Structure 1
Amino acid sequence: MLREGVSNILKFYNYVQARTDARIRDYPLMHNPIEMSIILVAYIFFSVYAGPRLMANRKPFSLKIPMIVYNLSMVLLNAYIVLEFMLSGWATTYTWRCDLIDTSMSPQALRMIRVAWLFYFSKYIELLDTAFFVLRKKQNQITFLHVFHHSFMPWTWWWGITLTPVGGMAAFHALVNAVVHVIMYFYYGLSAAGPRFQKYLWWKKYMTAIQLTQFILVSIHISQYYFMEKCDFQVPMWIHLVWIYGVFFFLLFSNFWVQAYIKGKRLPAANDKSKLNGSTSEPITVVANGKHKENGNVPHYTNGKIFMGKVKEI
């Protein structure tokens, strides 16, 4: 039984190796699914268990300067990704309808490969979002939606850019996601800069709306496939998966929108007993992508426990 199981795993591993696009195989973290799976499992373990316990009896770090530098760097990185996606096809040769994958070794096809990998790699950099929350003892900001989104995206993208040649209409959601991240990280950078920038953040309530718009655009674009008379996209399965992805996350963020803005619910602050550990944090406003930022008003206290996406009346 064990031998058969190991044999099946090896067969699947060899199948993945054989199917991997040779143009991207030698990029970092692309050799096999084991490396990225270990990283993401370690991320989840740190986020929901090890990190909170490590910080339980420690004072929170400020990290103001690192956060400003990080967020503004992410703005530049995502802006570059948007530019490269546009120049790789979306602003040059793509029709924004039935765009097939260029499997050649042309300069433009290789450029699409590079930016797709960079987009994928940026998802590992974004794991620092959670690390900042842990080190600042903002555990109530690490929701189920936050952790799931941060781990699900890089895991699925590994399979997407190895088993399928990169590009074509199925890559539209990456372009849109990078645009949204330019806006989001600009907001986060201003928020991290301190209270004097709060007056410039009047648009924070629209962040979730921007995220919902992203999923609507992705779903509408990919839905064209089902109404076209003929579209010979090389791997139709990824069309279906992108559509499911868009609808699934639209429902998740819609639920958050209803809970947070229509029903007036928020993630709860811990009770006053939590003051014993000396950690403080501010009331939060939950924004897009499962991430949450402080609004700089009256302080509350956290005891290092994690609230995995529970929304309760305050």
Structure 2
Amino acid sequence: MSMLSPIFIRVSEIWRQWDLLVSRNILYTLKSIGWDVDPISPATKDYIAVESPTFLISNLLFYIVIIGFGRARIRRTQRKQDLQNGSPGWVHFFVIIHNIFLILLSLYMCCGCILEARKNKYHLWGNEYKQSEVEMAKYIYIFYISKIYEFVDTFIMLLKGNIKQISFLHVYHHATISFIWWMITRKAPGGDAYFSAALNSWVHVCMYTYYLSAALLGKNKHVRKKYLWWGKYLTQLQILQFVLNLLQAMYCSAYSPYPKWISRLLFVYMLSLLVLFGQFYYTKHIALEKRKLR
């Protein structure tokens, strides 16, 4: 143990310097553009990865680097016929466990946010953040941490060699949503934030149920076509989610006591997702159906 102590001290010092560099610059930049995440909410200040953005930023950098190296390695070492052989059995088993876990976690977060909203007598929109609502803050925090864990979705795609699935939309959404929810968790983990967390959690219950079904059904095209016909409607549900969030952002920007800059950020962010998901939906469903009819 004594031999390892200098290593731990050195690593700790490196992390301290890195944390100081990252947190100072991130917090200064956010404040300079009007996204003031201070003061930190007392309901979440003692939770891991809330007070400082360094843990999240480090994970985001790791996420981007792994994607870059993973995509390059797949293109360099795997031929098309290799990808058709499928992934190892342990990857398939992990995918099943991963999806079951996220179905249960998403259901837990959705129900938790709704129950807390009812208990605190929330309106649909226009709810003030109150520091006393510590249980709601707990669910918002779990929701934020879940966004970091969902990076695993991308790592699974890399393990399976599905680099086509790792689109700009996929990476953009995973990377940005985690940072946005860090800011919300730090500044105002409650109030109007409940709506987006509950709605997104429910959409994820449906989404990961679809992924679990796909994993269990295997690659038989006839079986998948029979039982996974609702993929198109899942994308429509995601788009509906963004429309509702956009309407919420417009309402809250004008009438809610919730921090205005968060509502305005939500408005811009939802516009970007509507454009990207709309393009994805058109390419995968509408344009494809048009080609089939020719």
Instruction: With the length of structure 1 as denominator, give the TM-score of the two structures.
Output: 0.72
Which residue of 1 is the match for residue 239 of structure 2?
212
In structure 2, what is the equivalent of residue 273 of structure 1? none
Distance 2:73 2:285 in 1: 33
Deviation digits for residues 112-160 of structure 1 (CA, Å, limit 9, x no counterpart): 1100000001111111111111111111111011111111110111112
Preserved CA contact (<8 Å) 1:170 1:222:
no
| Correspondence for 2:14 | none
Q: 2:265 aligns with which of 241, 248, 262?
A: 241
Are 2:209 and 1:181 aligned? no
2:170 corresponds to 1:152: no
Aligned 8 A contact 2:214 2:228 in 1: yes
* C-alpha distance in structure 1 between counterparts of 2:236 and 2:96, whole Å: 24
Per the alignment, residue 101 of structure 1 pairs with: 129
CA contact (8 A) 1:81 1:115 kept: yes
- What is the CA-CA distance between 1:209 and the residue it aligns to? 0.6
Query: Could you tell me whether the CA contact under 8 Å between 1:215 and 1:250 is conserved in 2?
Result: yes
| Residue among 50, 59, 77 paired with 1:30 | 50
Deviation at 1:241, TM superposition (A): 1.2
- Residue 167 of structure 1 and its aligned partner are, at CA, apart by 1.2
Is the partner of 2:77 in helix, strand or coil?
coil
Determine the structure 2 residue equivalent to 1:312: none
Identity of aligned residues (%): 27
8 Å CA contact 1:219–1:247 kept in 2: the answer is yes
Measured after TM superposition, the shift of residue 50 of structure 1 is 1.4
Q: Indicate the residue corresponding to 1:50 in structure 2.
A: 69
Aligned residues between the structures: 251
Flag as ranges the 4+ runs of structure 1 deviating above 4 A.
15-18
Aligned pairs (5 A) from 1:1-314? 9=25, 12=28, 19-47=39-67, 49-55=68-74, 56-57=76-77, 60-62=87-89, 63-90=91-118, 93-104=121-132, 109-162=133-186, 164-195=187-218, 198=224, 199-225=226-252, 231=255, 233-264=257-288
Residue 96 (structure 1) shift: 0.8
Measure how far apart 1:54 and its partner are.
4.3
Pairwise CA RMSD = 2.7
8 Å CA contact 2:99, 2:211 repeated in 1: yes
Instruction: Specify the code of the residue in structure 1 equivalent to 2:122.
Output: Y
On the 8 A contact 2:56/2:148 being kept in 1, the answer is: no
Gaps of at least 5 residues in structure 2 are: 1-20, 290-294
